[in-house]
């Protein structure tokens, strides 16, 4: 339960079902890492949390088998009606364990694929085989974007009828109602009239910070006082700061470090544009959050992004990993305040209702009930 989109989705799901009067248990592994621990920041009242020490993120056959055995014990003794798994490895072990213990309704949510084109071909194949195995051990699979379903069906993970889109819920109102905070802006050292390009992501590989760093000098040439507001932390923090110094553009970059999820809504209203350059994602929460704050977006047409970023309407699609094109799209938005306003308003209208976490929980509860009602 690090600070991340899939983890926030899981916690909102737990909170929603608790508010509906259900008995909810969250089973998780340890949560170390520079991303931060989500449960230390917020844990819904009444949520039972079981930490399984052997349920770690990396593959470890001995610990994985131990985790599987422990999950079976938890499901057997808990007499649960529904087991809903999230994340790749936990989703495979959790579904296998729940199915073996004959839990009445077993479901899984795909937030992003374990298999993708940026990994070793053998590893890719292994993940697909594992996902096929797990798909046979659950009753239904939800996905946070239609693109996730298409990728799974194309890879032969499961038949299309096993899937259903349930958009990832988030606290949309917090972003819709957020206003620019002049004190926060000043504390970040951002001048009053400086345009702001935001990026919200863990500072990890495949998140696109390298492309942003390459694009930055071209944007700075057009807007010398621009500030790149980089929100998040991770293993690439030092190397990114070093690269900014090497390029002589440190003054244009603001690294906030880790910002807790409930405070991100304070930062999006400071932005004129958000860039989302991740190479693999489900449906990116940061794009939805920016649009909810009426901030247009520059991103790639990958995974679920085009389902909310409509090119020319709520922002611009850039060529994948093309730093020059990314820069051109940013410059185009910074140059046209009225276009930014129109795109921001269109984006807010698009996401306002579709991504409410309350709506997500209503849909999931209905699916649980329908699944349990089947003979």
- pLDDT of res. 303: 82
**Continuous segment of H or E residues that includes residue 138:** none
Q: To which H or E segment does residue 260 belong?
A: none
- Taking Cα atoms as reference points, which of 327, 192, 189 lies closest to residue 251? 189
pLDDT at 120: 74
Q: Given a cut of 80, is residue 282 above it in pLDDT?
A: no
**3-class SS at 28?**
strand
**64/68 Cα distance (integer angstroms):** 6
Please tell me the distance from the alpha carbon of residue 183 to that of residue 214, in angstroms, as a whole number: 30
Confidence of residue 119 (pLDDT cuts 50, 70, 90): low
Better-predicted residue by pLDDT, 28 or 34? 28
Of the candidate CATH numbers 3.40.718.10, 1.10.510.10, 3.40.50.2000, 3.30.830.10, the domain formed by 172-351 belongs to 3.40.50.2000
The ranges assigned to domains in the chain are 5-169+356-373, 172-351
Distance from C-alpha of 316 to C-alpha of 166, rounded to nearest angstrom = 25
Q: Which CATH number fits domain 5-169+356-373: 3.40.50.1450, 3.40.50.2000, 1.20.120.420, 1.10.460.10?
A: 3.40.50.2000
The token duo for 186 is: 């000043």
Orientation angle between helical segments 285-292 and 5-19, nearest 10 degrees: 70
- Contact indicator for 305, 281 with CB cutoff of 8 Å: yes
Q: Say what the pTM is.
A: 0.74
Residue 144 burial (CB count, 10 A): 29
Stronger pLDDT, 168 or 28, i.e. the higher one: 28
Cα–Cα distance, 147 to 107 (Å, whole number): 19
CA–CA distance, 366 with 268 (Å, rounded to integer): 33
Query: What's the rounded mean pLDDT across residues 138-150?
Result: 92
User: What torsion, rounded to 10 degrees, do the Cα atoms 327, 331, 332, 334 define?
Assistant: 140
């Amino acid at each position: 339960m690090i600070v991340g989109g899939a983890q926030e989705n899981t916690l909102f799901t737990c909170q929603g079902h608790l508010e509906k009067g259900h008995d909810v248990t969250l089973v998780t592994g340890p949560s170390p890492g520079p991303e931060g621990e989500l449960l230390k920041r917020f844990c819904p009242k009444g949520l039972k949390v079981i930490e399984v020490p052997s349920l770690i993120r990396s593959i470890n056959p001995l610990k994985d088998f131990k985790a599987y055995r422990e999950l079976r014990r938890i499901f057997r003794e808990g007499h649960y009606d529904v087991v809903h798994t999230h994340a790749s490895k936990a989703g495979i072990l959790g579904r296998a364990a729940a199915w073996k213990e004959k839990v009445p309704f077993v479901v899984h949510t795909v937030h992003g694929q374990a298999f993708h084109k940026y990994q070793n071909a053998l590893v890719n194949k292994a993940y697909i085989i594992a996902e096929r195995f797990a798909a046979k051990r659950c009753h239904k699979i939800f996905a946070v974007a239609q693109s996730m379903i298409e990728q799974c069906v194309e890879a032969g993970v499961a038949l299309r009828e096993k899937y259903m889109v349930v958009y990832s819920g988030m606290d949309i109102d917090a972003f819709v109602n957020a206003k620019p905070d002049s004190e926060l802006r000043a504390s970040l050292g951002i001048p009053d009239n400086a345009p702001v390009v935001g990026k919200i992501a863990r500072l990890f590989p495949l998140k696109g910070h390298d492309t942003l760093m390459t694009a930055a000098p071209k944007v700075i040439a057009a807007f010398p006082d621009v500030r790149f507001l980089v929100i998040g932390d991770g293993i690439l923090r030092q190397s990114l700061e070093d690269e900014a110094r090497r390029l002589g553009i440190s003054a244009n970059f603001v690294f906030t470090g880790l910002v807790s999820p409930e405070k991100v809504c304070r930062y999006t209203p400071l932005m004129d544009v958000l860039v989302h350059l991740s190479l693999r994602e489900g449906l990116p929460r940061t794009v939805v959050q920016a649009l909810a704050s009426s901030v247009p977006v520059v991103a790639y047409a990958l995974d679920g992004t085009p389902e909310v970023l409509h090119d020319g309407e709520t922002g611009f699609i850039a060529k994948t990993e093309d730093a020059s094109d990314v820069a051109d799209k940013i410059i185009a938005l910074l140059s046209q305040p009225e276009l930014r306003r129109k795109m921001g308003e269109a984006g807010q209208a698009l996401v306002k209702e579709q991504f409410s976490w309350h709506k997500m929980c209503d849909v999931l509860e209905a699916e649980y009930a329908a699944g349990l009602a089947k003979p």
